[in-house]
Amino acid sequence: MKHFSFETPERLEKIFYKQPESFTKYSEREVLSYMLGATLYMPATKDSIAKDVITKKFKDLVSMVIDLEDAVGDNQLEEAEELLVKHLETIYTALENEEILIEDLPLIFVRVRTPEQLKRMNAQFGVLNKVLTGYVFPKFSYKNGREFMETIAGMNSEETVLYAMPILESSEFIYKEERMESLLKTKEILDAYKEYVLNVRVGCTDFCGLYGIRRNVDTTIYDVSVIRDCLADILNVFNRREESYIISGPVWEYFSKDERILKPQLRVSPFEERHGNTGVRKRKELIGEFLDGLINEVILDKLNGIIGKTIIHPTHIKPVHALYTVTHEEYMDALSIVNNAEGSVGVLKSQYQNKMNEVKPHYYWANRILLRAKAFGVFNEDQDYTSLIIEDDEE
């Protein structure tokens, strides 16, 4: 896979100073953890999953989760498990017949309900695990985490590479009196199995459900104070420089039009100055689909050190990936910091003449920027996220 691989060579040259790098499930774990981007969830009961993957229906899709948990009713579970096996068999056969290459296969994960279900499904999969990049573990905590991680570790071998993506979404993490002890105990388990952990996901829908609240289409998850408080502690524990994990952003759950209360959150100038009337029309379209709310939330995700996002609609993929693409200014600052890490100079003026880069404090940030650049590429100096959102045939 490769982010923006569907773009023409001419557009890639026009937009990118440094193009995204290719990857598969066998890429180095540290790099792969940055590659997921917008991870699309779909219920295992959806009939067209295998066909959509093989035909590359969603051209910008690079990672997906086939869900056996919340998206599947209890009375549908047996049917969903049977369909999941059929989906994976169809994709595996297509791989074997070279209808699709491993290089073109999105990162596919299965969200299971319990360690017992994980063991049962793995026993059925066998060679079908070649299709999967790993498993998602819902309501993961120190109470069930060791069994989940022991099982995934046992499933790995020289021939089989599978990763875990635990989700923190149960009450012990959101209830303040339990939170810090639960986070530290959970991290202790993950530390013991870190080589199998691709990222840590956060289930803010479940958190909100415990309080009977939800954000609306023109606010962000950071406007919900009890969730913001919890996210801050999760980032504090899991994103520390010395032993960090990639933390993925909570799901953006809206995809339909609704009555707008607040003003649109997209400025006109980035669209109009670069793309004229076409840009103005695209901005209006994004606002009409309430994607300005998603864009605002992704900006806040990035600001807080979060990489990637859970999504439930394919229209969300492109804005997320465009926003995670590294700006030319970020890249030049990061290169300057990393290249001078062993030197005698502690403070450097930015190439853009607008800030000071301190080598030691900014070194961790710089490394993260360079890893993001591998995944999403680097914009040319005169390009930005609007360049990817607006396609040539729209201009």
Element (H, E) at 121: helix 115-125
Name the amino acid, one letter, at 80: A
Q: Are 297 and 220 in contact (CB under 8 A)?
A: yes
User: Phi-psi bin for 308: left (phi > 0), alpha (psi -120 to 50), beta?
Assistant: left
Say yes or no: 285 and 367 in one domain.
Answer: no
12 inside domain: no
Handedness of CA 22, 25, 26, 27 (dihedral sign): positive
* Backbone dihedral angles phi then psi of residue 98, each to the nearest 5 degrees: 60, 30
155 inside domain: yes
pLDDT at 394: 63
Picking from 305, 325, 345, the residue at the C-terminal end of a domain is: 325
Say yes or no: 219 and 268 in one domain.
Answer: yes
Say yes or no: 253 and 338 in one domain.
Answer: no
- Dist CA 154 CA 143 (whole Å): 19
CB-based contacts of 212, cutoff 8 Å, min separation 6: none
- Dist CA 199 CA 369 (whole Å): 17
Say yes or no: 349 and 256 in one domain.
Answer: no
- Dist CA 21 CA 4 (whole Å): 10
Q: What is the mean pLDDT of the chain?
A: 93
Burial class (CB in 10 A: 0-12, 13-18, 19+), 357: buried
213 inside domain: yes
Model pTM score: 0.94
Domain count along the chain: 2
Say yes or no: 368 and 256 in one domain.
Answer: no
- For residue 357, the cross-strand partners are 348
11 inside domain: no
211 inside domain: yes
- Dist CA 331 CA 243 (whole Å): 23
Say yes or no: 248 and 357 in one domain.
Answer: no
Strand, helix or coil for residue 181: helix
Say yes or no: 346 and 365 in one domain.
Answer: yes
357 inside domain: yes
Say yes or no: 100 and 232 in one domain.
Answer: yes
pLDDT at 172: 97
- CATH number of domain containing 212: 3.20.20.60
- For residue 164, the cross-strand partners are 135, 197
Say yes or no: 205 and 262 in one domain.
Answer: yes
Picking from 299, 325, 351, the residue at the C-terminal end of a domain is: 325
Say yes or no: 103 and 184 in one domain.
Answer: yes
Burial class (CB in 10 A: 0-12, 13-18, 19+), 18: middle
Residues 268-296: pLDDT tens digits? Answer: 888 988 889 899 888 888 887 778 889 99
CB-based contacts of 11, cutoff 8 Å, min separation 6: 392
365 inside domain: yes
Say yes or no: 320 and 359 in one domain.
Answer: no
- How high is the mean pLDDT in each 10-residue block of the chain (395 residues)? 95 97 96 98 96 96 96 91 96 96 96 96 93 98 97 94 97 98 98 98 96 89 97 97 94 75 79 88 83 93 97 94 98 95 84 91 96 98 94 65
Its domain, for residue 94, covers 22-325
Say yes or no: 267 and 366 in one domain.
Answer: no
**Number of residues assigned to the chain:** 395
13 inside domain: no
**Which residue in the block uniquely carries the two structure tokens 């104070």?**
225
Picking from 272, 295, 325, the residue at the C-terminal end of a domain is: 325
